Amino acid sequence: MITEGLKGRHFLRLQDFSKLEIESMLELGLQLKADNTMRRLHDDLLPRRTLFMMFFNPSLRTRNSFEAGIFQLGGHAHFLEPSATRLPTLEGEDLGYASERISDVSRVLSRMGDALSIRILGDVVDWEYDKAFRIIQEFANNSKVPVINMEDNIYHPCQGMADAMALWELFGKDLKGRKIGVSWTWGSSPKKPIAPHHDFMYVASLFGADVVFARPPEMRIDPEIEAQVKSNAEVNGGSFQVVENMEDACENADVVYAKNYVCLDLLPPVTSEPQKDEMMKLFDNYKGWIADEKRMNLAKPTAQYMHCLPCERGAEVSDAVLDGPWGEACYNEAENRLHAQKGVMAAIIP
């Protein structure tokens, strides 16, 4: 493992790390997971380190996995509720005594703690596609300590690490020859981010899987991310295919990853403001897109269903799939948020 060379690095996107660096953090996380099962303590890895967590959006898995993780490594987490502080803003968005420039917030917090983590997306930034990531970058540009991206509209690297760990546990780190079916599904809300799809396909292709991505023609992903997934597949012995039929992704798949996400063409900067009513009309054209027993039975007998959670039962996935043997990997994936993030924190926090 080469984690010593990662000390002090920001964790904003998986694309900022080499495959070897990602492998090293995952291997460390898996070792910590194995030791945790044996009740071997690692509270000497980050003793007395402080992680500041700033959540602009609700969280169950992310908040609790980071709080538990830093504690198990010997540190402590501070939960910062933005509404209880002055709103951190970019240059040009100051609100008098109601806000504080992000550069100032970051400089102060990085003198008090050992790492900062931020989650911001969706309504908080009026669905302006790249604004949330620019905000996280502004924190990183002004911080003396590592900054961790806990999700924005484009990237969810912590989830991607947990996804990769779950895939490794199923098949080993070499995913060559494994068909990973990925799909958009129907959902009853126009607010589910596309970031988990981006990073799931990024890591699956990074380790050589054959990724078959099903989505209605209107439901494209970010073309830059799609190009990166294609490149990963070419370099690492896998393949990438886009189809417009969910069954094509599920047929003979080793894993089916299926969830809803927003339509990028109905959000800024393509439109002047979010077109949520139009998005729901579009979604309803594809109401039959659900990970149900019929589709899972198209996959291999040993296939597993994956989803980053929270999921919308009866819309994205049926109860029978999630609660049956198909759904076990989904909960392993969720548990791995703890262990993968411990690997990241132990690697980057000095």
Residues 239 and 112 in one domain: no
Output the average pLDDT for the chain. 95
The string of pLDDT tens digits covering residues 196-223 is 999 999 999 999 999 999 999 999 999 9
Which pLDDT band holds residue 5 (cuts at 50, 70, 90)?
confident
pLDDT at 15: 98
Could you give the number of structural domains in the chain? Answer: 2
Q: Does 92 score more than 70 pLDDT?
A: yes
Long-range contacts of 264-273, Cβ-Cβ distance < 8 Å, separation of 24 or more: 264/129, 264/194, 264/220, 264/221, 264/222, 265/218, 265/220, 266/190, 267/127, 267/129, 268/126, 268/127, 268/128, 268/129, 269/128, 269/129, 273/126
The string of pLDDT tens digits covering residues 134-157 is 999 999 999 999 999 999 999 999
Residues 136 and 265 in one domain: no
Which pLDDT band holds residue 70 (cuts at 50, 70, 90)?
very high
Mean pLDDT, range 250-276, rounded to an integer: 97
Residues 166 and 131 in one domain: no
Structure tokens at 113: 């703690």
> Residue 232: which CATH number?
3.40.50.1370
Residues 225 and 128 in one domain: no
pLDDT at 282: 98
- Given a contact cutoff of 8 angstroms between Cβ atoms, the answer to whether 256 and 305 are in contact is yes
Residues 93 and 13 in one domain: yes
**Cα separation of 302 and 299, whole Å?**
8
**Cα separation of 87 and 78, whole Å?**
17
Mean pLDDT, range 166-180, rounded to an integer: 97
pLDDT at 2: 65
The string of pLDDT tens digits covering residues 318-347 is 999 999 999 999 999 999 999 999 999 999
pLDDT at 1: 58
The string of pLDDT tens digits covering residues 283-324 is 999 999 999 999 999 999 999 999 999 999 999 999 999 999
Residues 190 and 291 in one domain: yes
Distance, CA of 255 to chain centre: 17
Structure tokens at 8: 């002090």
Q: Does 175 score more than 80 pLDDT?
A: yes
The string of pLDDT tens digits covering residues 242-261 is 999 999 999 999 999 999 99
* CA distances from residue 320 to 163, 316, 317 in whole angstroms, order as listed: 22, 12, 8
Indicate the burial class of 331 (C-beta count within 10 angstroms; 0-12, 13-18, 19 or more).
middle
Residues 182 and 326 in one domain: yes
pLDDT at 40: 80
Q: What is the length of the chain?
A: 350
Residues 190 and 204 in one domain: yes
Q: Does 47 score more than 80 pLDDT?
A: yes
- Given a contact cutoff of 8 angstroms between Cβ atoms, the answer to whether 192 and 259 are in contact is yes
Q: Does 83 score more than 80 pLDDT?
A: no
pLDDT, greater one: 96 or 323: 323
Q: Does 233 score more than 90 pLDDT?
A: yes
Euclidean distance between the first and final Cα of the chain, in Å?
Answer: 16
The domain in which residue 55 lies consists of 3-154+337-348
b/e map 53-71, b = 16+ CB within 10 Å: bbbbbebebbbebbbebbe
Q: Work out the percent of the chain whose per-residue pLDDT is above 90.
A: 89
Residues 168 and 300 in one domain: yes
Residues 139 and 22 in one domain: yes
pLDDT at 78: 95
- Given a contact cutoff of 8 angstroms between Cβ atoms, the answer to whether 315 and 290 are in contact is yes
- Given a contact cutoff of 8 angstroms between Cβ atoms, the answer to whether 290 and 260 are in contact is no
Residues 310 and 169 in one domain: yes
Residues 314 and 343 in one domain: no
